[in-house]
């Protein structure tokens, strides 16, 4: 978990050199790095988190050069609705005086003819911050390795979804986070420092994170984005990859890649997006998808196909997919099955080597928050009740459930649709509060 000694005064807070020293970079280690990587393989998945309109998508664009909100409704409403993918290349510009300037694929060019060195690749998963979309945030958070919590300096901290998203990161076991105090261009130094202290109080008093790294930023103006890159390098270390297990991929998105009017002879199979949780996948591998297609009677039909091609979130081709990176897989599936996220929430792997399909689950080690987080008005939480309807997130699967039995820290839950998820996966439980689902607790999946 992160350890960080935050600056306590405005002078240090807004002194880039002093703040950079706190974050730390090993200049000598950069000299032997290549200018371009052999392949753009992510070494960790970063998920954004935070209240609606605090600038998560704008920060993603400042880091990667790509604005993750691409759907017409997102652009019209100015909010993220679906999970957005972006690829981050962190690079360094080295001058003859050993001065270092960090840049990313948002820029890709060094000033003053400095030497460009490629350091590391990451995937960024941009989560929606709107209060009605907590289930989408939870689905995405199930496949991330690190959290980038964005908090606007021009609003009190914590706002409802700031608190709810941080609780979600805790529930899903995300240990390493960085806080970006965004929109500093909209406030005075005194207001920024007041908000900065509110952030510290929130994390120290209400979370398990203590005081995480906190970086004042203007994502819209590009101020201190290089310090965010420095913090990512320092605190989001590459994840180790083991490939001796059978592949297991959580599907977070699915697409029909064919444009309207495509000639039938040129149609391609459906595409699946998500993250490999373990093992590895190669082009040409035979795959199974569970639970697969759910018919009108609620019966599941597993799907079988072949890995036709693999691409990173940046569109780079890979021959082999490994964990800790967002990937897209082209298949031979009927694109009608994959359009509009039709297979989101499924798992993918080698045939006959996936978790069982379940319609009823047993959840153990349930922890319920003392209070409802994310609601506009603070209210006490209460135990699960037999007959209660809840919203269930397991991995990338979003499902409705009916509490059939509940006793202390265990519950039997009947699901609206079958799922296939490994035993021990975190089960996030949300309750309908004031006509919106709010995260109330979590447990572990048992069969």
What predicted TM-score, i.e. pTM, was given to this entire model? 0.91
* CA–CA gap between residue 376 and residue 49 (Å, rounded): 18
Q: Phi, psi (5° rounding) for residue 2? A: -65, 145
49 strand-pairing partners: 149
Strand, coil or helix: 30:
helix
What CATH superfamily is the domain 248-349? Answer: Translation factors (2.40.30.10)
**Helix residue spans in 67-215 (DSSP H):** 72-77, 134-141, 160-171, 189-206
Residue 68 falls in which region: left (phi positive, over 0), alpha (psi -120 to 50) or beta: alpha
Per-residue confidence (pLDDT) for residue 52, from 0 to 100: 86
The 10 Å CB-count burial string (b at 16+, else e) for 393-405 is bbbbbbbebbbee
* CA–CA gap between residue 384 and residue 162 (Å, rounded): 25
* CA–CA gap between residue 267 and residue 257 (Å, rounded): 9
User: How distant is the alpha carbon of residue 279 from its chain centre?
Assistant: 20
pLDDT, tens digit (0-9, with 9 covering 90-100), for 62-84: 999 988 754 433 333 343 346 88
Rounded to a whole number of angstroms, the CA Rg of the chain reads 22
* CA–CA gap between residue 364 and residue 343 (Å, rounded): 27
* CA–CA gap between residue 96 and residue 3 (Å, rounded): 32
Tally DSSP H helices, then E strands, for the chain: 10, 23
Residue 292 falls in which region: left (phi positive, over 0), alpha (psi -120 to 50) or beta: left
Residue 430's nearest CA partner among 52, 115, 57, 133 is 133
Question: Crossing angle, helix 160-171 and helix 134-141, to 10 degrees?
Answer: 30
Choosing among 2.40.30.10, 3.40.47.10, 3.40.50.10860, 3.40.50.300, the CATH entry for 357-446 is 2.40.30.10
User: Given this chain, do its domains 10-235 and 248-349 carry the same CATH topology?
Assistant: no
Per-residue confidence (pLDDT) for residue 361, from 0 to 100: 97
Q: Which residues touch 200 (CB under 8 Å, ≥6 apart)?
A: 6, 211, 214
Q: Which residues touch 43 (CB under 8 Å, ≥6 apart)?
A: 120, 121, 122, 238, 239, 324, 325
447 residues of the chain, pLDDT tens digit each: 665 666 666 566 566 666 566 656 666 777 788 888 888 899 999 999 999 889 999 999 999 998 875 443 333 334 334 688 899 999 988 877 667 888 999 998 888 888 899 999 999 998 774 555 788 889 888 999 999 999 999 999 999 999 999 999 999 999 999 999 999 999 999 999 999 999 999 999 999 999 999 999 999 999 999 989 989 998 999 998 876 899 999 999 999 988 888 888 888 999 999 999 999 999 999 999 999 999 888 889 999 999 999 999 888 999 999 999 999 999 999 999 999 999 999 999 999 999 999 999 999 999 999 998 877 777 899 999 999 999 999 999 999 999 999 998 999 999 999 999 999 999 999 999 888 899 999 999 998
Pair 344, 393: CB distance under 8 Å: no
Q: Which residues touch 252 (CB under 8 Å, ≥6 apart)?
A: 83, 125, 139, 140, 143, 273, 274, 275, 344, 396
Other CB atoms within 10 Å distance of the CB of residue 135: 18
* Architecture of the structural domain at 10-235: 3-Layer(aba) Sandwich (3.40)
Q: Which residues touch 131 (CB under 8 Å, ≥6 apart)?
A: 52, 160, 161, 164, 374, 436
pLDDT, tens digit (0-9, with 9 covering 90-100), for 30-67: 778 888 888 889 999 999 999 988 999 999 999 999 88
Residue 109, burial from CB neighbour count under 10 angstroms (0-12, 13-18, 19+): exposed
Pair 185, 220: CB distance under 8 Å: yes
* CA–CA gap between residue 26 and residue 142 (Å, rounded): 32
394 strand-pairing partners: 397, 427
Domain ranges of the chain: 10-235, 248-349, 357-446
- What DSSP string describes 310-368? EEETTS-EESEE-SSSEEEEE-SS-HHHHGGGTTTT-EEESTT-SPPEEEEEEEEEEEE
Residue 433's nearest CA partner among 368, 393, 374 is 374
């Amino acid at each position: 978990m992160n350890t960080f000694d935050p600056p306590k005064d405005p002078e240090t807070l807004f002194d880039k050199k002093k703040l950079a020293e706190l974050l730390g970079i090993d200049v000598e280690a950069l000299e032997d790095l290549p200018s371009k990587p052999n392949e753009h393989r992510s070494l960790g998945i970063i998920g954004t988190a935070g209240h609606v309109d605090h600038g998560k998508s704008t920060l993603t664009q400042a880091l990667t050069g790509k604005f993750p909100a691409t759907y017409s409704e997102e652009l019209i409403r100015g909010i993220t609705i679906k999970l957005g993918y972006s690829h981050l290349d962190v690079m360094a510009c080295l001058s003859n005086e050993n001065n270092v300037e960090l840049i990313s694929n948002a820029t890709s060019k060094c000033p003053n003819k400095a030497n460009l060195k490629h350091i590391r690749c990451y995937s960024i998963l941009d989560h929606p911050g709107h209060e009605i979309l907590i289930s989408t945030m939870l689905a995405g958070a199930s496949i991330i390795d690190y959290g980038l919590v964005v908090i606007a300096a021009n609003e009190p901290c914590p706002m409802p979804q700031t608190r709810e998203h941080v609780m979600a990161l805790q529930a899903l076991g995300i240990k390493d986070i960085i806080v970006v105090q965004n929109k500093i261009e909209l406030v005075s130094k005194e207001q920024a420092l007041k908000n900065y202290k509110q952030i510290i109080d929130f994390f120290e008093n209400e979370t398990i994170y203590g005081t995480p790294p906190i970086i004042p930023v203007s994502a819209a103006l590009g101020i201190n984005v290089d310090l965010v890159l420095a913090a990512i390098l320092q605190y989001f270390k590459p994840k180790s990859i083991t490939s001796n297990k059978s592949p297991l991929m959580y599907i977070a998105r699915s697409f029909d890649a064919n444009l309207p009017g495509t000639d039938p002879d040129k149609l391609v199979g459906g595409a699946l997006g998500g993250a490999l949780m373990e093992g590895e996948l190669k082009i040409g591998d035979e795959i199974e998808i569970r639970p697969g297609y759910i018919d009108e009677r609620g019966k599941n039909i597993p799907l079988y196909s072949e890995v036709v091609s693999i691409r990173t979130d940046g569109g780079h081709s890979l021959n082999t997919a490994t964990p800790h990176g967002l990937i897209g897989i082209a298949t031979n599936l009927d694109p009608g099955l994959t359009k509009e996220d039709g297979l989101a929430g499924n798992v993918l792997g080698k045939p006959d080597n996936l978790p069982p399909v379940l319609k009823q689950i047993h959840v153990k080690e349930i922890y319920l928050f003392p209070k409802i987080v994310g609601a506009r008005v603070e209210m006490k939480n209460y135990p699960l009740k037999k007959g209660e309807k809840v919203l269930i997130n397991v991995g990338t699967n979003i499902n409705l459930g009916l509490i059939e039995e509940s006793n202390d820290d265990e519950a039997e839950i009947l699901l609206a649709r079958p799922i296939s998820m490994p035993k021990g996966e975190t089960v996030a439980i949300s309750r309908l509060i004031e006509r919106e689902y709010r995260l109330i607790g979590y447990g572990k999946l048992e069969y």
